[in-house]
Amino acid sequence: AQKITQTQPGMFVQEKEAVTLDCTYDTSDPSYGLFWYKQPSSGEMIFLIYQGSYDQQNATEGRYSLNFQKARKSANLVISASQLGDSAMYFCAMREEASGGSYIPTFGRGTSLIVHP
């Protein structure tokens, strides 16, 4: 079963507007962490923001914030005041428990964001 679901294969937003990228997850762990990464067309993977399940507040990093709804198991990324340079693939990720007590990093299938001028 897929651990991380990103339901929007592609999104479009006008420059300077806000956009929300969806991420839902499935876990039975009482505590966990969720990550968002950005992959621009140049190919590198860039860490954006982290949310811990027991964090009291939603995570924010500059123009990035997380709309974390624990009961709904969703951790949507909000990008405010979109810029042309925000055009990229965005991946949601978390750990998945594997056999033997190890943890496997698991990524969603990503959302392609295009920012229009």
Partner 1 sequence: DTAVSQTPKYLVTQMGNDKSIKCEQNLGHDTMYWYKQDSKKFLKIMFSYNNKELIINETVPNRFSPKSPDKAHLNLHINSLELGDSAVYFCASSQDDSGWDTQYFGPGTRLTVL
Asked if residue 39 binds partner 1 (CB under 8 A), the reply is yes
Q: Rounded to the nearest 5°, which phi and psi values hold at 60?
A: -140, 145
Asked if residue 64 binds partner 1 (CB under 8 A), the reply is no
Q: Give CA–CA dist 64/77, Å, rounded.
A: 7
Asked if residue 50 binds partner 1 (CB under 8 A), the reply is yes
Asked if residue 35 binds partner 1 (CB under 8 A), the reply is yes
The half-sphere exposure of 59 on its side-chain side, counting CA atoms within 13 A, is: 19
Of the candidates 13, 59, 77, 89, which one interacts with partner 1 according to CB under 8 A?
A: 89
Q: Which residue has the tokens 């624990």?
A: 70
Of the candidates 18, 81, 84, 98, which one interacts with partner 1 according to CB under 8 A?
A: 98
Min CB(20)–partner 1 separation in Å: 20
Neighbours of 97 (CB within 10 A): 14
Asked if residue 79 binds partner 1 (CB under 8 A), the reply is no
Question: For residues 19 and 11, is the Cβ–Cβ distance under 8 A?
Answer: yes
Asked if residue 109 binds partner 1 (CB under 8 A), the reply is yes
Q: 31: which DSSP letter?
A: S
* Binding residues vs partner 1 (CB under 8 A): 33, 35, 37, 39, 43-47, 50, 52, 89, 91, 94-95, 98, 100, 102-107, 109-110
